[in-house]
Amino acid sequence: MREPVTRESILRNEYALNGADLNNEYNNYSRWEMKNAMRELNQKRIKNNPTVMRLKRNCRINGTSNWRCPHCNKKVRRLTAAHVGEQVSIIIDRILDEHFPQSNLTELLSILRDKHEDITIVVCCDECNKILQDH
């Protein structure tokens, strides 16, 4: 018979990790941290935009966890908010080359938002997303 699951048994399990061990294994390269922070915040900003959410909702296949791509009409597991043209990581690298470390995160995100004034975002599947990227 198995022992009951308790807080203590969970914490003794090999799947419970010590924060200090994670910190010791962490690569704290500040430019890498800034790039990832900018990428994550930008993704969340676009993903949680009410218009993007509404467009995705319009593509939901009722009663399932699937979507219908509005471009290729394929049934897919997820839809993205794709950038047309240059990849976001390249845009962020250019911003960091010009403004890091002298600018803080808030200033860098403002520059990134300004760069998005000329970018088209398209709700689509991963396959259509690849078509929209510059190579």
Sequence-ordered list of residues with C-beta below 8 angstroms from that of 33, at least 6 positions apart, any chain: none
Distance in angstroms (rounded) separating the CA atoms of residues 34 and 6 = 39
| Average pLDDT over the chain, rounded to an integer | 94
Q: What is the pLDDT of residues 33-66, one digit of tens each?
A: 999 999 999 999 999 999 999 999 999 999 999 9
Nearest to 38, CA basis, from 95, 118, 122, 119: 95
pLDDT of residue 23: 86
Chain position carrying tokens 């760069």: 115
**Whole-structure pTM value:** 0.81
Ranges of the chain whose pLDDT falls below 50:
none
The full set of domain ranges for the chain reads: 29-132
Burial of residue 103, with CB atoms counted within 10 A of its CB: 0-12 exposed, 13-18 middle, 19 or more buried:
middle
pLDDT of residue 130: 94
